[in-house]
Homo-oligomer: A and B are copies of this chain.
Amino acid sequence: MSHTVNHTHDPRLRSWVKSSNPGQTDFPIQNLPFGVFKRRSNDDAPRVGVAIGDQILDVRACDKANLFEGEAKAAAAACESLSLNKLMSLGEDEWSGLRSRLSLLLREDNNEVEHHKQIIENHLVPMTEAEMLMPVEIGDYTDFYASLYHATNVGSMFRPDNPLLPNYKYVPIGYHGRASSVVVSGTGVKRPHGQTQTNEGEPPTFAPSKLLDYEMEVGFFVGPGNKLGEPVAIERAAQHIFGLCLVNDWSARDIQRWEYQPLGPFLAKSFATTISPWVVTMEALAPFRTEAFARTAGDPAPLAYLQSPTDQEQGGIDLTLEVCLASRQMREADIPPALLTRGNFRDMYWTIAQILTHHASNGCNLRTGDLIASGTVSGSSKESRGCLLELTWRGTEPVQLPGGETRRFLQDGDEVIMRGYCERAGFARIAFGECRGMVLQADGV
């Protein structure tokens, strides 16, 4: 796995798109994430775009204007699609070629730009005029459990004597999620009904969940897949990863508690999973790669198929994650969203390469567009706990909201806003935009 920092990361680069100056935006020229949008104003078809400042560049339109050639051309042609899947299926050379060319076309100190600038400007759509759509057709969605802190916290609530199961430090634990109910940021999330048991030994009731939670996660999208029966060596894992998004894996803790034995979480999760609309490429993230989680002295080494010196050195990603909450009352009182959680993706016990390689280690075929999420990202400190279950310790320590409210779990009207950003001295800050969702009242209440 190599993460070469190249000219597209140069912090001195500026775009002639003025709103994209580093520090003013999540989307400077060093980022260039991909998404799918349509104009709000008409019955526009979905199209692939790249974020730059507060604008979206229509890649297909630029291709039709003959602004690409070579690998960039092949990648741009793959953007003539209703999703990112075709682009993601190509591979690192094409992705890098397209990103490099986009960087060139958008930078201000480039003579070629003067020639093309008018054309490109015609194909910039202000984000305020665009609706962001699901960026990817997801075949399978898998969710992991890769934070040792999260696993230990949750384990100690439910199994105080035995918080961490014996397999945890050997197996990147994961489970299949529900692909159909993955929705894009901004989609309302209706509080689910489900079976819950109030008192042990008593019959359950079927009612709206009372213990609704968010889970702050990071997801990656599979680029080229692997064939059924053909595992992916960890040294080649990076070639199969296109980029990252933010994931809110909404969870109904009361439903989960009653249903999850012996086959794992099911309806407690499958009512909705929200992802951010912009997919940040692995190339854009290259400057923020960092060493993998530092295992403590007593920890076992990963089994050989999960070991790679390069992955150990730079399998981590220094990506700060935040969750804010805005209640209905706060919105009505013009109180800005309150920060609940701030954590970092580098705190995960397993790297994304280990996760991908493990997933395919039995020959399971990963397909272009599959979404693989990390599991809740929690760190060692209280403020870095990535869900309310942990933050409020099962509701026993409610969080205070500005305006006087408290929260054990989510209430109707609560909007959960996730953000993610990468910062490093000597590099431009890049970020993921937002992953938002508001809790809507359950049916028939």
Chain B residues contacting A300 (CB-CB under 8 Å) are: 203
- Does A179 contact B140, Cβ atoms closer than 8 Å? yes
A441 to chain B, nearest CB (A): 11
User: Could you mark each residue 158-185 of chain A with 1 if its beta carbon is under 8 Å from any beta carbon of chain B, else 0?
Assistant: 0000000111001101111111110100
Chain B residues contacting A92 (CB-CB under 8 Å) are: none
Chain B residues contacting A303 (CB-CB under 8 Å) are: 195, 204-206
Say which residue of B171, B259, B264, B364 sits within 8 Å of A195 (CB atoms): B171
Chain B residues contacting A365 (CB-CB under 8 Å) are: 180-181
Q: Does A271 contact B (CB under 8 A)?
A: yes
Say which residue of B165, B201, B252 sits within 8 Å of A362 (CB atoms): B252
List the one stretch of A186-194, A213-221, A338-346 in contact with chain B. A186-194
- Does A362 contact B192, Cβ atoms closer than 8 Å? yes
- Does A364 contact B181, Cβ atoms closer than 8 Å? yes
Main secondary structure of the interface of A (DSSP, over half): loop
Say which residue of B139, B167, B259, B359 sits within 8 Å of A173 (CB atoms): B259
User: Could you mark each residue 354-387 of chain A with 1 if its beta carbon is under 8 Å from any beta carbon of chain B, else 0?
Assistant: 0000110111111100100000000000000000
- Does B263 contact A175, Cβ atoms closer than 8 Å? yes
**Residue in chain B with minimal CB distance to A267:** B362
Say whether, besides A206-B304, A228-B181, A263 and B173 are in contact (CB < 8 Å).
yes
- Does A167 contact B258, Cβ atoms closer than 8 Å? yes
Say whether, besides A176-B177, A206-B303, A194 and B270 are in contact (CB < 8 Å).
no
- Does B206 contact A165, Cβ atoms closer than 8 Å? no
- Does B361 contact A270, Cβ atoms closer than 8 Å? no
Chain B residues contacting A270 (CB-CB under 8 Å) are: 176, 362, 364
Say which residue of B177, B190, B197 sits within 8 Å of A229 (CB atoms): B190
A4→B55 CA distance, assembly (Å)? 58
Chain B residues contacting A181 (CB-CB under 8 Å) are: 228, 363-365
Number of copies: 2
Say whether, besides A194-B361, A303-B195, A361-B206, A266 and B180 are in contact (CB < 8 Å).
no
A147 to chain B, nearest CB (A): 13
Say whether, besides A165-B261, A228-B181, A228-B183, A255 and B206 are in contact (CB < 8 Å).
no
- Does A262 contact B259, Cβ atoms closer than 8 Å? no
- Does A170 contact B195, Cβ atoms closer than 8 Å? yes
Q: Does A265 contact B (CB under 8 A)?
A: yes
Chain B residues contacting A145 (CB-CB under 8 Å) are: 263
- Does B267 contact A264, Cβ atoms closer than 8 Å? no
Say whether, besides A175-B175, A258-B171, A194 and B266 are in contact (CB < 8 Å).
no
- Does A364 contact B267, Cβ atoms closer than 8 Å? yes
Say whether, besides A175-B176, A175-B266, A364-B271, A231 and B193 are in contact (CB < 8 Å).
yes
Say which residue of B171, B180, B204, B255 sits within 8 Å of A140 (CB atoms): B180
Q: Which residues of A contact B (CB under 8 A)?
A: 139-140, 145, 155, 165-167, 170-171, 173-181, 183, 190, 192-195, 197, 200-201, 203-206, 228-229, 231, 252, 255, 258-268, 270-272, 300, 303-305, 358-359, 361-367, 370, 443
| 9 shortest interchain CB distances as A-B pairs | A264-B264, A192-B362, A176-B176, A175-B263, A263-B264, A267-B362, A270-B364, A190-B229, A271-B362
